[in-house]
Amino acid sequence: MLRRKIEWQAEFLDKLTTRGMRPEKQRAYEQNLVKGYNLVRGVFQRLFRHLHKHQVEGTLGVLEGKKQEVDRRAASELSVHEFIETYAKPGLPVIITGLNITDDEPWTLDFFRSRCNVTVGLQRKNARRRSWGRLEDAGNLPLAEFIDTFATNKTRRHWYLHDWTLPRHCPGAFGPPPYLGFTVPAYFAGDYFQRAAFQGYQHSWPSLFVGSNETQ
């Protein structure tokens, strides 16, 4: 290995030799090249150690963004035009309250506890994971049990039901045809994904999220 390194360095210097240069200038030129090479090599090694350290610690990747307050807007005071211009186009989150999306029983946690009598897969965030959203499986529980304990159980306060598709897992939430149990709010009725070629995935929504204010 050492021999190959010496041969490589000699070949490197020979290729960069400036013909016709006086010997003393040639030596200075070669010394500067080697110095530059060592500087670049040192930067690369430090960068590698830095990245490897973060990889081991599970902190390699995009830095955590600062927490931000999310606007809460009443549906009676938020027009579709304002929603698109103020939130949709800039990509800003907003919580819309007071939406009338059902002609039947309101969609509350009690509603889903009674209508969706199934066991669900739960997730939690793990900074060491490289999966989408740094999520990992946390366990399985009956939905009713999770709803009753997610805000009080020390462990389950960090778990949440994430993007749980209602059409697939709890179609009973929509009631019988013609599905008066749910109406798509006007803010989202123009979803272009619904106009794409049929592939089934666009029929995964609406989906349900349940979790405490300690989830990320």
CA gap 128, 169 in Å, rounded: 29
Q: What is the mean pLDDT of residues 14-35?
A: 70
DSSP character at residue 63: P
pLDDT band at 47 (very low <50, low <70, confident <90, very high): confident
Q: What is the mean pLDDT of residues 5-26?
A: 66
> What is the C-alpha to C-alpha distance for residues 110 and 144, in angstroms, rounded to an integer?
9
pLDDT tens-place string over residues 77-86: 999 999 999 9
Q: How confident is the model at residue 100 (pLDDT cuts 50, 70, 90)?
A: confident
Check residue 16 and give its pLDDT.
Answer: 59
Got the DSSP string for 171-190? Answer: GGGG-STTTTT----GGGTT
27/163: higher pLDDT? 163
Q: What is the pLDDT of residue 61?
A: 64
Tokens of 13: 């210097």
* C-alpha–C-alpha distance, residues 86 and 91, integer Å: 9
> In degrees rounded to 5, what are phi and psi of residue 69?
-75, 135
Question: Using alpha carbons only, what angle is made at residue 17 by residues 13 and 21, rounded to the nearest 5 degrees?
Answer: 140
Per-residue pLDDT for 88 more than 80?
yes
Those residues whose C-beta lies under 8 Å from the C-beta of residue 73, and which sit 6 or more positions away, are 94, 95, 96, 97
For the entire predicted model, the pTM comes to 0.64
Share the mean pLDDT of the chain.
82
CA distance 139 to 120: 9
pLDDT tens-digit map of 107-157? 889 999 999 989 999 999 887 777 777 788 999 999 999 999 999 999 999
